């Protein structure tokens, strides 16, 4: 068996691993590489393998860095099945066309710039139409069900606890060349215990070969704070100041977690009844998918549903979803107190920018940051207390209070990653660390060696091919 690491090698984006066994080619994830525009475009367009020769694809979860290049794969000739869990398939059905739309807009913008310089127009990587076409190749499977996807290759998905539908991929393989059976586990992105809505990551009893993420290698998350208490305090505060609570959140995942946490507090009578708006079309579409997949909820959600006899965990009195632009604009002049949850989570684009522009210079308002903020994003500047900041080319003094909610990270930290391997009854004989920058990957390698005496851990280079023994 050979594995070639075509993406997320010493970096976190563009997850793509090609497994070759028994004459078959199986692609694990087909993520979009995100980086500088020109380089990213080329890498994403020129996939390093013949698309039509791939026999099957397996998608660990719907995040764009794992799924976002599926439309290119199909556009360029792939005609096999794409295996995913039910929820991942349905999330991809909203996220891939959204990504196609973004690709079209980006190409339009780049074309305008190029024409000004007398250069060629730019083609989108793929269109919304390409994204819709790719959806017909999905074949969804429930967690825990084993399916023979090719002769001698059995696939089972287990909970990864990272986002709705996220899966650890297990392949039980009968390797005819080597004349023996073995197991390959791909962790996908591994989540953490206790995240709202999601079940905890599953323990895998054993594997021979492990491909594992390392995003937070060497780093430990801050202790999970009492999120309920934080929300209670902030909402009481804005009721007093008649302010607005602005929550920038990723449209898929974080928004639904925040809505559910607020709904619980609301049902328990622990927060005053004030209007709450979810202002992001993608978040609204994603929420519809979350509603369709109660099979992926954890026990806490089921208990909540029973206690309050409430079968919609994303809808309550005073919660409004604003899809239309007019409804979103109406919030600009509305008086507080109210809460608005909007995307993008790192405040680089989307409707959140309008809310920030309007509210950021008023000390009565609060901005609650709910996720990790990449360097050089507006979100990071707010966390670093930079003021004034630029939004749509204008400077604004930051006078609203900026707070951060810890503990909602969707990724296991270095100790949680190690504990996940430790829980295996039989340890892998060969481990590959992917989906992490080199430094965190090396830190995790050292930790696995020192604490578990795990041997043969390798951090592959981009496009490195390994003959697995
Ligand atoms: Zn992910
Ligand atoms: Zn990822």
Domain with residue 383: its CATH number is 3.40.50.10890
Asked whether residue 162 falls in the same domain as residue 240, the answer is: no
The CA 186 to ligand 2 mean position distance, Å, reads: 12
What's the pLDDT at 93? 98
Reply yes or no on whether the pLDDT at 37 is more than 90: no
Asked whether residue 354 falls in the same domain as residue 372, the answer is: yes
- Ligand at minimal distance from the CA of 166 is 1
What's the pLDDT at 245? 98
- Ligand at minimal distance from the CA of 91 is 1
Residue bearing tokens 């041997």: 455
- Strand-pairing partners, residue 185, are 170, 210
Burial (CB count within 10 angstroms: exposed 0-12, middle 13-18, buried 19+), residue 40 = middle
The CA 435 to ligand 2 mean position distance, Å, reads: 7
What's the pLDDT at 407? 80
The CA 13 to ligand 2 mean position distance, Å, reads: 6
328 contacts: CB under 8 Å, gap ≥ 6 = 279, 322, 351, 354
The CA 189 to ligand 1 mean position distance, Å, reads: 5
Asked whether residue 204 falls in the same domain as residue 236, the answer is: no
The CA 63 to ligand 1 mean position distance, Å, reads: 5
Asked whether residue 56 falls in the same domain as residue 162, the answer is: yes
The CA 408 to ligand 1 mean position distance, Å, reads: 13
Asked whether residue 325 falls in the same domain as residue 379, the answer is: yes
Reply yes or no on whether the pLDDT at 185 is more than 80: yes
Asked whether residue 340 falls in the same domain as residue 457, the answer is: no
Reply yes or no on whether the pLDDT at 176 is more than 90: no
Boundary of a domain, candidates 404, 434, 452: 404
- Ligand at minimal distance from the CA of 32 is 2
The CA 177 to ligand 2 mean position distance, Å, reads: 32
The CA 50 to ligand 2 mean position distance, Å, reads: 24
- Ligand at minimal distance from the CA of 14 is 2
| Maximum alpha-carbon separation in the chain | 71
Strands 389-391 and 366-369: unpaired
What is the total count of domains within the chain? 2
The CA 180 to ligand 2 mean position distance, Å, reads: 32
| Mean pLDDT of all residues in 166-190 | 95
234 — pLDDT class (breaks 50, 70, 90): very high
- Ligand at minimal distance from the CA of 160 is 1
The CA 190 to ligand 1 mean position distance, Å, reads: 8
Could you tell me the CA-to-CA distances from 437 to 7, 52, 292 in Å, in that order? 12, 31, 35
The CA 162 to ligand 1 mean position distance, Å, reads: 7
The CA 131 to ligand 2 mean position distance, Å, reads: 20
Boundary of a domain, candidates 358, 383, 404: 404
Asked whether residue 355 falls in the same domain as residue 421, the answer is: no
Residue 87 near residue 60 (C-beta atoms within 8 A): no
The CA 411 to ligand 2 mean position distance, Å, reads: 9
The CA 92 to ligand 2 mean position distance, Å, reads: 14
The CA 65 to ligand 1 mean position distance, Å, reads: 7
| Mean pLDDT of all residues in 113-121 | 93
Could you tell me the CA-to-CA distances from 355 to 159, 280, 331 in Å, in that order? 36, 12, 8
Boundary of a domain, candidates 370, 386, 404: 404
Asked whether residue 212 falls in the same domain as residue 75, the answer is: yes
Both structure tokens of 223: 């202790």
Residue 290 near residue 256 (C-beta atoms within 8 A): yes
Per-chain mean pLDDT for the chain: 95
Asked whether residue 145 falls in the same domain as residue 26, the answer is: yes
Burial (CB count within 10 angstroms: exposed 0-12, middle 13-18, buried 19+), residue 19 = buried
- State the residue range of the domain holding 197: 2-219+410-467
314 — pLDDT class (breaks 50, 70, 90): very high
Asked whether residue 341 falls in the same domain as residue 446, the answer is: no
Residue 136: is the preceding peptide bond cis (ω within 30°)? no
| Mean pLDDT of all residues in 415-425 | 98
- Ligand at minimal distance from the CA of 252 is 1
Asked whether residue 163 falls in the same domain as residue 107, the answer is: yes
Asked whether residue 292 falls in the same domain as residue 381, the answer is: yes
pLDDT, tens digit, 9 for 90 and up, residues 332-364: 999 999 999 999 999 988 999 999 999 999 999
Residue 189 maps to which CATH number?
A: 3.60.15.10
The CA 469 to ligand 2 mean position distance, Å, reads: 27
Predicted TM-score (pTM) of this structure = 0.94
What's the pLDDT at 156? 98
């Amino acid at each position: 068996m050979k594995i070639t690491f075509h993406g997320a090698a010493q970096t976190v984006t563009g997850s793509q691993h090609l497994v070759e066994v028994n004459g078959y080619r199986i692609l694990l994830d087909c993520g979009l590489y995100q980086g500088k525009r020109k380089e990213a475009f080329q890498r994403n367009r020129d996939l390093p393998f013949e698309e039509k020769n791939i026999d099957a694809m397996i998608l660990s979860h719907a995040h764009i860095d794992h799924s976002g290049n599926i439309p290119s794969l199909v556009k360029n000739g792939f005609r096999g099945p794409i295996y995913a869990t039910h929820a991942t398939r349905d999330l991809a059905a909203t996220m891939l066309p959204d990504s196609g739309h973004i690709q079209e807009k980006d190409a339009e913008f780049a074309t305008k710039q190029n024409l000004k310089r007398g250069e060629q127009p730019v083609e989108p990587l793929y269109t919304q139409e390409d994204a819709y076409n790719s959806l017909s190749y999905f074949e969804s499977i429930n967690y825990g069900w084993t399916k023979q996807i090719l002769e001698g290759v059995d696939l089972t998905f287990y909970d990864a606890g990272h986002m709705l539908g996220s899966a650890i991929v297990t392949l039980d393989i009968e390797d005819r060349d080597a004349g023996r059976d073995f197991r390959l586990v791909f962790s996908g992105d591994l989540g953490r215990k206790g995240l709202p809505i999601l079940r905890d990551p599953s323990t895998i009893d054993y594997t021979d070969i492990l491909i594992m993420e390392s995003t937070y290698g060497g780093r430990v998350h801050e202790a999970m704070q009492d999120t309920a208490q934080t929300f209670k305090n902030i909402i009481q505060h804005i009721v007093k100041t008649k302010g607005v609570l602005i929550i920038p959140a990723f449209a898929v995942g974080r928004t639904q977690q925040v809505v559910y946490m607020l709904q619980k507090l609301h049902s328990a009578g622990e927060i005053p009844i004030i209007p709450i708006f979810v202002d992001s079309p993608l978040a609204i579409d994603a929420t519809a998918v979350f509603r369709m997949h109660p099979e992926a909820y954890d026990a806490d959600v089921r208990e909540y549903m029973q206690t309050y006899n409430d079968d919609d965990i994303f809808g309550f009195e005073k919660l409004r979803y604003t899809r239309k632009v007019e409804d979103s604009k109406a919030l600009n002049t509305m008086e507080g107190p109210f809460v608005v949850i909007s995307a993008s989570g790192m405040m680089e684009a989307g409707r959140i920018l309008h809310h920030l522009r309007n509210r950021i210079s008023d000390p009565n308002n609060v901005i609650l940051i709910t996720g990790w903020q990449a360097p050089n994003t507006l979100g990071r500047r707010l966390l670093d207390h930079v003021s004034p900041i630029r939004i749509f080319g204008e400077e604004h003094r930051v006078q609203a209070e900026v707070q951060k909610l810890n503990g909602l990270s969707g990724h296991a930290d270095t100790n949680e990653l190690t504990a996940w391997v430790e829980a295996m009854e039989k340890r892998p004989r060969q481990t590959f660390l992917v989906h992490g920058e080199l430094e965190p990957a090396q830190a995790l390698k050292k930790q696995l060696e020192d604490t578990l005496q795990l041997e043969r851990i390798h951090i592959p280079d981009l496009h490195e091919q390994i003959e697995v023994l």
